[in-house]
Amino acid sequence: MSGDSQGMSHWFDDEAGPVVRPYAMTRGRTTSAAQHRLDLIAVVVTELHADDPEADHSLSPEHVDIVGLCRDSPQSVAELAAELDLPVGVVRVLIGDLVDDELVHVTRPVPPAELPDESILRDVISGLRAL
Q: Tell me the C-alpha distance between 56 and 102, whole Å.
A: 13
More confidently predicted of 113 and 77: 77
**Residues 90, 93, 98, 102, Cα dihedral to 10°:** 160
Neighbours of 91 (CB within 10 A): 26
Q: pTM above the 0.85 mark?
A: no
- State the pLDDT confidence band at 36, using cuts at 50, 70 and 90: low
Q: End-to-end distance of the chain based on CA atoms, in angstroms?
A: 91
Q: Which of 4-18, 75-89, 117-131 has the lowest mean pLDDT?
A: 4-18
- At residue 79, does pLDDT exceed 90? yes
pLDDT of residue 101: 84
Residue 86 CA to residue 77 CA, distance in Å, equals 11
Q: Is the pLDDT of residue 111 over 90?
A: no
Which of 36 and 76 is assigned the larger pLDDT?
Answer: 76
Beta partners for residue 33, in sequence order: none
Say which amino acid occupies 67. V
Per-residue confidence band for 23, with pLDDT thresholds at 50, 70 and 90: low
Q: Which residue has the higher pLDDT, 77 or 8?
A: 77
Helix (H, G, I), strand (E, B) or coil at 3: coil
Q: Radius of gyration (Cα) for the chain, nearest Å?
A: 22
**Mean per-residue pLDDT over the chain, rounded:** 76
